[in-house]
Structure 1
Amino acid sequence: MLALIGLLGGFVTGISPCIIPVLPVILFSGGMQSAREAPRGADASAGTAGGRGSAGGGTAAATATAAPAQAPPRTVSRWRPYLVIAGIVVSFTLMTLAGSLLLGLLGLPQDVLRWAGIVVLALIGIGLIVPAFQHLLEKPFERIPFLNAANRQSSKLQGFPLGLALGAVYVPCAGPVLAAITVAGSTGQIGADTVVLTVSFAIGAALPLLFFALAGRGLAERIAAFRRRQGVIRVVSGALMLALAAGLVLDVPARLQRLVPDYTAAIQEAFAGSDEVQEAIAIGGLENDENAELDRCDPGATELQECGTAPNLRGIESWFNTPGDASVDLASLRGQVVLVDFWAYSCINCQRSTPHINAWYDAYADAGLEVIGVHSPEYAFEKERDNVIAGAAALGIEYPVAIDNQLATWTNYRNAYWPARYLIDADGVVRNVHFGEGQYAEGERMLRALLEEAQPGIELPPPTETADETPANADITPESYLGTTKEQNFGGAERYSAQTEVFTLPADQPQDTFALDGAWRLETQFVTPRDAEARIRLLYRGQEVRMVLAGTGTVVADVDGERVELEASGTPRSYRLLLADAPREGTIEVTVPAGVEAYSFTFG
């Protein structure tokens, strides 16, 4: 069962937009380079077989005499596509399971293997363009029978080192299986089940790549021009590898992936929601030695508890608000009280809780408090580092922020909420966990108690007493996502799908829903008008209503009869439509112009 889940999870990843950057290399170097060349003169003789001859047979005799002098056709290894894919599977498996731990033991940066893969990719690319350089690269492999025995007249590299390099730089899209594997590997919880899951996932992710490699070979063998120009294909393959290596350095593949809608997101979501999958990989609650004792904490507790040593911060992509953007290790903060806050910059609940975290940091940093904001994205646009930095600046965040784009730390803490607070004492023990907004006075009281426990007799500043703006009632409209993969609360009559292009407002729309009117293009994360403008009608309950928008244009809203204009500009961020004195029910009709993307409505 575990192997099947890994295989299916990997296959869904393998058909996602994340394979786009490596496809050209797979097609040309993995596939077309293994195409067999036609015997010299075969194409020409096939075209002239019924042509000019000789009555006496003299020409035929001459041809027969000359034929043996032709050089034999170059034999090409048929194993090259399979060896490229095998290299990817081996490299990905080893890096995922052991790479993080090994680099940690050696004290090396976590991205050193990726850079090594880029270097190897570039060297192989140069070798394909310059044969003499390739000969130097092949020397170390001449004594390895596995790589040399398949065909001594073909490349001794046989594609396996290329696969190893691609496996080091190939970054699959995050999904439930990959999240479980990543946390298991980074925390050292590697048992037989983890190995089975990882290998089957790697094979599943590589199968689509093998298909493209074999398709490239088949194409090259069926078109004579390709067969006659294997030298050109070698040069093109090398150029593509160099381009991929340069692109990886400049982060171009990640930018290209963001331009392509994630057409597998709905499949991933359905896959992750399966009870069988969740039970098999314990997603959302992956228990290991680091986080097993977190269950001792009651998320609603208003008194300090003891819930085990705080789990490590794993898989962090980058940091900011630290000297030189250096990473922060929880172990180095022993002796200080630490607050780990999980957040996302467009989350309205996080926006309301941030002023309290900021106030605590300002008031108690000098007294030994360290705050670490772990930014765990909910939307694809929240994975953009520049967007996160801008969002943090808008919220006044000055404490260190860790960008957890793969949700590795999120999963290592078995977290499931935005925001979520984990209060850690000076000995590194989790003493309080709180999910969501609220309980700020209680949280500050416990924070002060830990500071006094760490430094008896310390004089603390007075409590911050920041106003708590958490909605007093829970009777508000749930967050409403507009993208097709996370759509919630659609109240129209049409099928909510990218195939539906025209919508009309229903005569009877349910409370706490939205409906569309006009021509819309529905993407996985957002909706945008097909024509000059289109409309959204929202029936809401709450005190505050906000809308996440991107692009450029003026969004005009009728909020219970009052005109509100929002000037959308640039990257996605949250804009306020309504802030009332008290919770209420109402109707908002929003006119969205072309060039503006609408992501969601949030309520408070």
Structure 2
Amino acid sequence: MSLLFLSFFAGVLTVFAPCVFTLLPVVLGGSLGTRSWRKPFVIIFSLSVSIFIFTFLLKVLSLFADVPQSFWQIVSGFILVVFGIVTIFPELWDRFSYRLGLSAKSNQLMQEGSEKEGLIGEVLVGMALGPVFSSCSPTYALIIVTILPEDFSTGLLYLISYTIGLALTLMLIAFFGQKLTSKLKWAVNPHGLFKKILGTIFIILGIGIMSGFIAKFENYLLSSGLFNVTNIEFNLLENMEDNKTTTNNSGEQVELSVKNPYKAPEIQGIEKWLNSNGETIEGLKGKVVLIDFWTYSCINCIRTIPFVEGWYEKYKDDGFVVIGVHAPEFSFEKDFENVKKAVGDYHITYPVAMDNDFATWKAYDNHYWPAHYFIDKEGNVVHTHFGEGKYDESEMVIRYLLGLDNMSDVENKDVNVPITSNQTQETYIGYNRIERNSNYSQIAYDTQKTYTADTNLSSNMWSFGGDWKIEGERAIARANSTITMKFNAKDVYLVLGAEQESKISVKVDGQLQHLGADANENGEITINEKKLYKLVHSDEFLKDSVLEITFSEGVAAYAFTFGS
């Protein structure tokens, strides 16, 4: 139940994330101009319901999947602008109601009409903000992307917990705001200066949402390090597992991350095997097994392969088995010939299972690439490790489970993953998971469109230039189209593919410099298969360098990854 609490805490933290922080004047504005609890409660409750409904419809039922995000931005922004105008000029609603016959002469009906007008406005404001408040939290993303599709009831519970945390925090802030203004008569005057200021803020934010400026401002806050509360969540997610320390026969301590070992789920739903005719957990009892979830275009996975292969070669005669469960991130990674070639290119000799439908992935409740599950001789999962690094600890676990005492044989004791906190994060090109893109509000789903390259990018932002067809998991270029990115890293990788041999050209800060292993001296890279290509390499960390990629006709771009 630790993720249930974390989901609630993530809702609390989301209030201080850029995607919410910039909109707090709208959410809480109602509480600062009234003595009634109804207005802030209705706005916040409507917002919470809106978040829940939009998550359910768009993410779970996949309804409105073809409706561009820009549509929701325009709708939300328009409602806020109208609400702002009515707040500044309340007599407009009275005239509108009168012309439509909504007002009456009697004081009672006028009061009821006024209450109805207020209630409708408050509900509309709250509901309008729901689409804007999406993807503010890594915990929220974990719930939507991984838990809901696999375990609907659990994911629904976590989503409710997240929404409650968000709503309660907003209500608490509204309470103190109302306490402050309750003594100020000018704050509750519907024709006063304070109401006009609030209305102006609503209009400015509405225009900002419609134009995409708010999204750019949020990205600026994140890239500058301000309000980066998501780091707190990432740290909590990484440390949810309790560690258990044990010792080997020589008295040396070995940490096992699984506090309560559990029976390893069976390998299932495998489409094809490489380097094996098929393996089962039941058939491997008596051996120590490492289940390695990976995919061949993932740079983090690629960097772990030499270590995993090294362990296999070193300990296979002692009863150690590795099963590489290949779970595809992109559709081309489901192709047997592509995976077979990658297995050969990376010199993998241990069994590899193609888990194209994620059956084994789901059985292990896995959420990461790469992910290592260590299984003892009795068939129990006793240790896990996610991501790169800690290779010496992993080898110590292998030796401990095999009953090998001499830990001095452990290699790679000083190997760490040199990643700086300022490094640009993994960046997806397709609209399903697109982030930090300056063209975002103009994107046309699955349609050819001409985009204007942004020449004034903020740190870690990127943009399309020229003619592109942007699909769910990739973007397909027309001749001479570009992608420009302001990045922070030593190495830049990009997953690319093409139906026929094509080329891209690369420049860093306008020069043929810091070229990666796949580029020739002219900065050209030949795209002859669907895989990860190394575009940039520098011995020094490049800060806010500008990468410009020019594409040939038909080249598809999937995702950037970075190294330092």
TM-score by length of 2: 0.53
* 1:447 equivalent among 398, 415, 438: 398
> Using the alignment, how far apart are the partners of 1:285 and 1:359 within structure 2?
42
* Alignment CA distance shift 1:342-1:535 (3 Å): same
Name the structure 2 match of 1:516. 464
* Alignment CA distance shift 1:375-1:562 (3 Å): same
Given that 2:390 and 2:416 are in contact with CA atoms closer than 8 Å, whether structure 1 keeps it comes out as: no
* Alignment CA distance shift 1:394-1:469 (3 Å): farther
Matched, 1:303 2:287: no
* 1:584 equivalent among 542, 560, 564: 542
**CA displacement at 1:483 relative to structure 2:** 1.4
Name the structure 2 match of 1:105. none
Given that 2:244 and 2:255 are in contact with CA atoms closer than 8 Å, whether structure 1 keeps it comes out as: no
Name the structure 1 match of 2:348. 397
**CA displacement at 1:341 relative to structure 2:** 0.6
* 1:595 equivalent among 538, 546, 554: 554
> Using the alignment, how far apart are the partners of 2:455 and 2:484 within structure 1?
12
Number of equivalenced pairs: 331
Matched, 1:537 2:487: no
Map Cα deviations across residues 570-595 of structure 1 (whole Å, 9 max, x no partner). Answer: 33101111222243321110011113
Map Cα deviations across residues 482-536 of structure 1 (whole Å, 9 max, x no partner). Answer: 1122222212365223346011122421211211111112222222223x21111
Map Cα deviations across residues 408-451 of structure 1 (whole Å, 9 max, x no partner). Answer: 11111111111011111111111211111111111111111111
* 1:549 equivalent among 480, 496, 510: 496
> Using the alignment, how far apart are the partners of 2:489 and 2:263 within structure 1?
39
* 2:278 equivalent among 327, 331, 337: 327
Matched, 1:315 2:269: yes
* 1:570 equivalent among 524, 528, 551: 528
Matched, 1:369 2:316: no
**CA displacement at 1:366 relative to structure 2:** 1.2
* 2:454 equivalent among 506, 528, 540: 506
**CA displacement at 1:276 relative to structure 2:** 7.7
**CA displacement at 1:296 relative to structure 2:** 10
* Alignment CA distance shift 1:600-1:566 (3 Å): farther
Matched, 1:381 2:368: no
Report SS of the residue matched to 1:587. strand
* Alignment CA distance shift 1:8-1:524 (3 Å): closer
Name the structure 1 match of 2:154. 282
Given that 1:548 and 1:573 are in contact with CA atoms closer than 8 Å, whether structure 2 keeps it comes out as: yes
> Using the alignment, how far apart are the partners of 2:344 and 2:408 within structure 1?
25
> Using the alignment, how far apart are the partners of 1:494 and 1:7 within structure 2?
21
Structure 2 letter corresponding to 1:472: I
Report SS of the residue matched to 2:262. coil
Report SS of the residue matched to 2:423. coil
Name the structure 1 match of 2:173. none
Report SS of the residue matched to 1:396. coil
* Alignment CA distance shift 1:537-1:281 (3 Å): same
Structure 1 unmatched ranges of 5 or more: 17-268, 287-294
> Using the alignment, how far apart are the partners of 1:406 and 1:477 within structure 2?
30
Given that 2:59 and 2:144 are in contact with CA atoms closer than 8 Å, whether structure 1 keeps it comes out as: no
Map Cα deviations across residues 332-372 of structure 1 (whole Å, 9 max, x no partner). Answer: 11111111011111011101111111111111111111000
> Using the alignment, how far apart are the partners of 2:337 and 2:156 within structure 1?
28
* Alignment CA distance shift 1:296-1:529 (3 Å): closer
- % identical equivalent positions: 32
**CA displacement at 1:275 relative to structure 2:** 9.0
Structure 2 unmatched ranges of 5 or more: 1-54, 67-140, 159-238, 246-253, 516-522
Equivalent residues in 2 for 1:34-433 (5 A)? 272=144, 280-282=152-154, 298=242, 303-304=255-256, 305=258, 306-322=260-276, 326-433=277-384
Name the structure 2 match of 1:291. none
* Alignment CA distance shift 1:526-1:391 (3 Å): same
Name the structure 2 match of 1:131. none
* Alignment CA distance shift 1:576-1:554 (3 Å): same
Aligned CA-pair RMSD: 3.6
* Alignment CA distance shift 1:484-1:10 (3 Å): closer
**CA displacement at 1:550 relative to structure 2:** 1.0
> Using the alignment, how far apart are the partners of 2:412 and 2:156 within structure 1?
34
TM-score by length of 1: 0.50
**CA displacement at 1:473 relative to structure 2:** 2.1
Map Cα deviations across residues 449-486 of structure 1 (whole Å, 9 max, x no partner). Answer: 11116xxx7x8993342873622323311111111222
Name the structure 2 match of 1:482. 429
Structure 2 letter corresponding to 1:483: G
> Using the alignment, how far apart are the partners of 1:465 and 1:271 within structure 2?
35
* Alignment CA distance shift 1:393-1:464 (3 Å): farther
